[in-house]
Chains A and B, each alone.
Chain A
């Protein structure tokens, strides 16, 4: 990865954005900004609204009130396609298309953008090195890959056209502990190297702390606390924040 890819990033902001599904409030009107080039972890229990934040930012959902701002401009429906090409998105099971090989999955967007096959292959090889995917795995179908390999391919697919931001929704949620640990290491390194705006959704506090200097704790569609891991651990904003910290059995048993 060349130095040219470092820096940049997108500044995202939720400006009073809210979302409800029928009677269920997924997100209350919320003010939240993600600075360009920063890494943020969204944490909280399931149903807290953390995935909804990502979906609003990508234009997969429209906010019921307020707006989503991208580099200061309110997101318009006409801009959504262009925005998505600047943002890589990875979900829990990878979301790989089973009818295409790993290489086919990687090539979807670049092909549409008119990249030459040679350029697509070279980019894929480079990303395979970055994510430490064995290069023979590129010819396999998702069903022929291990869980860890699938997540690596999904990350590569998100990075193919060198986006300005990466949104990851429980990217390691379905992996066994050893693979998960290994990928955590690699993701942290990759986030540091690329200098993109990164937002990771996870319910695992240790993982969040490992990835991001800034943690945003959500509960019932509202921000409970926004700060560093130390803030959260030492100065929890309320009882829920304290419970959330204490409930993490996987936390290191440091005194």
Chain B
């Protein structure tokens, strides 16, 4: 029994061991849609060919996440659109600001901007060709004559000032049946006739595929969304070759080229790095990773997220649980506070972490850490509070100081509920960690994100199955740990 503290120490250390080794190549971010991912790959391969080591943190949560990450230096560059800069990211910029104006506005923020890459990916409104022909709709203003048409818009388009609210005003559109849709699903909705018109990006690969007609923006409502790269100005000093490589991409990608690349990835299911390499006339990386290597890397990332967050949570939650058991008032407060943390939706929790910790592994670890607290604190408290009072009193009457009582008597007696709490936290963490890919932490969530983006069940399963297996494995490992750490005397039935 004297080995008990040593055994606990071994289990704790095993949880904390995988500490992250952080190298510092140039980090390129991309948004959660295919075009952005392809541009990110193009930038990475262009950097590689210029002799600059670069990594691509693909499919980060959204514009705001990338913009903040760039300003905080968590990423070094990402593809953006001038319209988004004008309307969303920068305040008090004329709607038709040119690149020179934007460059001047971005410089004080420490951000540089390339010249336009050559294509415009602006919002547009599209309808099925046959339906548009039947109703004789060619321009957006033609929609005014058909108030009963059902519109389906992506959630972002519904909300932003330069989206539906502004469009409705500019054209005095009368439609009332307007629903929010995921952009990926909206094509199928319009193709199946569930809605009559949707918002599009003008380089979307699906436009020809689904035989859609893009309505002419006859009042020039939609701003220009020229693709550019944003980068941190410090790179001009630290990685001049990378900045030069980015600048060389300016003017080289026109709309048909971009639409073709989008189609190659989305519709022909080609790998984005291969498509990007073809465009640059270069080779994909020699060391392309097969499914097993991918699985291994994601497993390492995922286990690391779960293990580090759980290990840190143990260091805080068990002492908190002990304090909660000792002082009733404070205990209720602690348990209520950890309970409130648990009610924060996972995605919101990850996004909250970005201003504090940037993107990548650490904010994900922090979010998972906070989620782990409640089950461990609560079970530690319940385990200690559930010890028979006569045992507590016998321990006190022996003349052992409180710390020795806690270590030799109370914690071993509460071991089973404490371990059950840790197990619960670990299994929940395995599931929640799949969302960490949204803030660039990788793991099994990455193929799930890509799978949703490309509508590929195979990719979704490539993430979901290992996550489920890992959850079962964690469950099993904890059963063993529980058997190993629970004192034998507690597993016996008392004799009468």
* A contact residues around B395 at 8 Å (CB): 97
A245 within 8 Å of B (CB atoms): no
Give which listed residue, A58, A85, A91, A100, contacts B489 with CB less than 8 A.
A100
A211 within 8 Å of B (CB atoms): no
Are A147 and B496 in contact, CB atoms less than 8 angstroms apart?
Answer: yes
Residue of A82, A92, A98, A147 most packed against chain B (CB within 10 A)? A98
Interface segment out of the listed B7-15, B401-409, B433-441: B401-409
**Interface SS majority for chain B:** helix
B393 within 8 Å of A (CB atoms): yes
| Cα(A83)–Cα(B394), bound, Å | 14
Q: How many chain A residues touch the partner (CB < 8 A)?
A: 31
Are A95 and B495 in contact, CB atoms less than 8 angstroms apart?
Answer: no
* A contact residues around B495 at 8 Å (CB): 143-146
Total A-B Cβ pairs within 8 A: 82
| Cα(A91)–Cα(B397), bound, Å | 10
Binary contact readout B396-426 vs A (1 if CB under 8 angstroms, 0 otherwise): 1111110010001100110100000000000
Are B398 and A93 in contact, CB atoms less than 8 angstroms apart?
Answer: no
* B contact residues around A12 at 8 Å (CB): none
Are B496 and A108 in contact, CB atoms less than 8 angstroms apart?
Answer: no
Are A141 and B394 in contact, CB atoms less than 8 angstroms apart?
Answer: no
B390 within 8 Å of A (CB atoms): yes
A112 within 8 Å of B (CB atoms): yes
Are B390 and A84 in contact, CB atoms less than 8 angstroms apart?
Answer: no
Are B390 and A93 in contact, CB atoms less than 8 angstroms apart?
Answer: yes
Are B487 and A100 in contact, CB atoms less than 8 angstroms apart?
Answer: yes
B290 within 8 Å of A (CB atoms): no
Binary contact readout B1-19 vs A (1 if CB under 8 angstroms, 0 otherwise): 1000000000000000000
* A contact residues around B400 at 8 Å (CB): 108-109, 112
Given the interface pairs A95-B390, A108-B408, the reply to whether A84 lies near B490 with Cβ below 8 Å is no
Query: Which positions 20-40 of chain B face chain A at CB distance < 8 Å?
Result: none
| Cα(A108)–Cα(B407), bound, Å | 11
A33 within 8 Å of B (CB atoms): no
Binary contact readout A102-138 vs B (1 if CB under 8 angstroms, 0 otherwise): 0010001100100000000000000000000000000
Are A84 and B399 in contact, CB atoms less than 8 angstroms apart?
Answer: yes
Given the interface pairs A84-B398, A99-B1, the reply to whether A143 lies near B493 with Cβ below 8 Å is yes
B492 within 8 Å of A (CB atoms): yes
Closest Cβ of chain B: how far from A188's Cβ, in Å?
23
Are B398 and A108 in contact, CB atoms less than 8 angstroms apart?
Answer: yes
| Cα(A99)–Cα(B489), bound, Å | 4
| Cα(A246)–Cα(B234), bound, Å | 98
Are A98 and B399 in contact, CB atoms less than 8 angstroms apart?
Answer: no
Are B397 and A98 in contact, CB atoms less than 8 angstroms apart?
Answer: no
Are B494 and A143 in contact, CB atoms less than 8 angstroms apart?
Answer: yes
Range of interface residues on B (Cβ < 8 Å): 20 to 34
B391 within 8 Å of A (CB atoms): yes
Binary contact readout B53-64 vs A (1 if CB under 8 angstroms, 0 otherwise): 000000000000
Are B399 and A109 in contact, CB atoms less than 8 angstroms apart?
Answer: yes
* A contact residues around B399 at 8 Å (CB): 81-85, 87, 109
Binary contact readout A69-85 vs B (1 if CB under 8 angstroms, 0 otherwise): 00000000000011111
A142 within 8 Å of B (CB atoms): yes
Residue of B397, B399, B415 most packed against chain A (CB within 10 A)? B399
Give which listed residue, B404, B413, B488, B494, contacts A97 with CB less than 8 A.
B413
Query: Which positions 355-406 of chain B face chain A at CB distance < 8 Å?
Result: 390-391, 393-401, 404
Are B492 and A95 in contact, CB atoms less than 8 angstroms apart?
Answer: no
Given the interface pairs A84-B398, A147-B496, the reply to whether A95 lies near B393 with Cβ below 8 Å is yes
In the complex, the chain A residue whose C-beta lies closest to that of B390 is A95
Given the interface pairs A97-B391, A104-B1, the reply to whether A141 lies near B408 with Cβ below 8 Å is no
Given the interface pairs A60-B397, A100-B1, A104-B1, the reply to whether A144 lies near B412 with Cβ below 8 Å is no
Are A112 and B489 in contact, CB atoms less than 8 angstroms apart?
Answer: no
* A contact residues around B415 at 8 Å (CB): 99
Are A141 and B1 in contact, CB atoms less than 8 angstroms apart?
Answer: no
Closest Cβ of chain B: how far from A140's Cβ, in Å?
9
In the complex, the chain A residue whose C-beta lies closest to that of B486 is A99
Are B396 and A99 in contact, CB atoms less than 8 angstroms apart?
Answer: no
* B contact residues around A84 at 8 Å (CB): 396-399
In the complex, the chain A residue whose C-beta lies closest to that of B409 is A97
* B contact residues around A81 at 8 Å (CB): 399, 401
Are B490 and A98 in contact, CB atoms less than 8 angstroms apart?
Answer: yes
Are A109 and B496 in contact, CB atoms less than 8 angstroms apart?
Answer: no
In the complex, the chain B residue whose C-beta lies closest to that of A102 is B489
| Cα(A85)–Cα(B401), bound, Å | 11
* A contact residues around B494 at 8 Å (CB): 98, 142-143
A40 within 8 Å of B (CB atoms): no
* A contact residues around B390 at 8 Å (CB): 91-93, 95
Closest Cβ of chain A: how far from B384's Cβ, in Å?
14
| Cα(A84)–Cα(B494), bound, Å | 29
Are A143 and B393 in contact, CB atoms less than 8 angstroms apart?
Answer: no
Are A141 and B489 in contact, CB atoms less than 8 angstroms apart?
Answer: yes
In the complex, the chain B residue whose C-beta lies closest to that of A117 is B2
A229 within 8 Å of B (CB atoms): no
| Cα(A85)–Cα(B390), bound, Å | 18
In the complex, the chain A residue whose C-beta lies closest to that of B492 is A143
* A contact residues around B391 at 8 Å (CB): 95, 97-98
In the complex, the chain B residue whose C-beta lies closest to that of A55 is B393
* B contact residues around A202 at 8 Å (CB): none
In the complex, the chain A residue whose C-beta lies closest to that of B413 is A99
Are A60 and B496 in contact, CB atoms less than 8 angstroms apart?
Answer: no
Closest Cβ of chain A: how far from B278's Cβ, in Å?
66
Give which listed residue, B396, B397, B412, B489, contacts A143 with CB less than 8 A.
B489
Closest Cβ of chain B: how far from A199's Cβ, in Å?
13
* A contact residues around B1 at 8 Å (CB): 99-101, 104
| Cα(A144)–Cα(B1), bound, Å | 17
Binary contact readout B314-339 vs A (1 if CB under 8 angstroms, 0 otherwise): 00000000000000000000000000
A–B pairs, 25, beta carbons within 8 Å: A81-B401, A83-B399, A84-B397, A89-B398, A91-B393, A93-B390, A95-B390, A95-B397, A96-B394, A97-B395, A98-B489, A99-B409, A99-B413, A99-B490, A100-B489, A104-B1, A108-B408, A109-B400, A112-B404, A141-B489, A142-B489, A144-B492, A146-B495, A147-B496, A157-B398
Report, nearest first, the 7 A-B pairs whose CB atoms are least far apart: A95-B394, A84-B399, A99-B487, A141-B489, A85-B399, A143-B492, A89-B397
Residues of B within 8 A of A (CB): 1, 390-391, 393-401, 404, 408-409, 412-413, 415, 487-490, 492-496
